[in-house]
Amino acid sequence: YLLAASIFILLIPGLSEGGKLLVVPMDGSHWLSMKQLVLKLMDRGHEVVVLIPEISWQMGKGQSYTVKTYPVDYTLEDLDKSFAEYLSVHLSNQPFPMNVLTLYNVSKHTFGMFLSQCKNIFRSTEIMQYLNQSDFDALLTDPIALCGATLANYLSLPFVFFMRGFPCSLHYDAPQCPSPLSYVPRLFTFNSDNMTFFQRVENALIALLELVYCNGFYEEGLKLSSQILQRDVSLLDLLNGASIWLLRYDFVFEYVRPVMPNMVFIGGVNCAPGKPLPK
């Protein structure tokens, strides 16, 4: 926990000299919250470099932090189409288990788009040369696409996760948190923590399916990570090396459960700032 504590000090004003931080974000609503953290770190004297694709929804050049862009092999239309399909499935309100199968397929397709971004980073000789020569102190990333964790392992950097949640409850499994199936509902059940007997049976079945679900969902991502790191890696191998988990929600709104000391509930904004109400 000494490493985790040293990184967390970076977020406390007046207790550390400015460090050099590499940020590997995800696009969309994920970036809206992370950007606020990046700006706050800049205000506290840290040097921040944000690594973004040339084509994105929300991520543009900032006034105070350095932006490094890398080329990608898709268009903005491809990105829009992928998200439209993802949103359509989420709003279809299908019954169980069709909702699980449909969400799995569309999520895997969307993940493939973000995985292509990661491939493009490592294909860019210019970007990789810059990253290897820049002497960063730590890496901040959204872990969903695995790219930031892979890059941190490749560069031998301590890394911090900044996130809202993870498929298959990996944000609890990787830090080795207990997750009792009797009252902690799984992602696709849409149950509350007050479950009937049959809902608990459903919860247990979903937990078993997740073993197959997440391995299949991240199969291509893990192949890429293994290729880059030149060793076989599993999901937990890749994720449990995070020094700190900054969880972008409030503990009091979640189901009661034990968490590890390096898991910090920070709240956060999960959408674009609203416009002022008319008079």
Span 229-251, pLDDT tens digits: 999 999 888 999 999 999 988 77
More reliable by pLDDT, 58 or 5: 58
Report the SS3 class of residue 265.
Answer: strand
pLDDT band at 121 (very low <50, low <70, confident <90, very high): very high
Specify the DSSP element, H or E, that contains 84: helix 76-90
How would you class 161 by CB atoms within 10 Å of its CB: exposed for 0-12, middle for 13-18, buried for 19 or more?
buried
Instruction: State how far the alpha carbon of 125 is from the alpha carbons of 128, 129, 132, in Å.
Output: 5, 6, 11
The pLDDT, as a whole number, for residue 124 is 95
Mean pLDDT computed over 261-279: 79
Q: How far apart are CA 72 and CA 88, in angstroms?
A: 25
Beta strands at 159-163 and 20-24: parallel, antiparallel or unpaired: unpaired
- The architecture of the domain spanning 17-74+112-265 is 3-Layer(aba) Sandwich (3.40)
Residues 6+ apart with CB under 8 A from 124: 70, 71
With tokens 């959204």, the residue in question is: 142
**Percent of the chain whose pLDDT exceeds 70:** 89
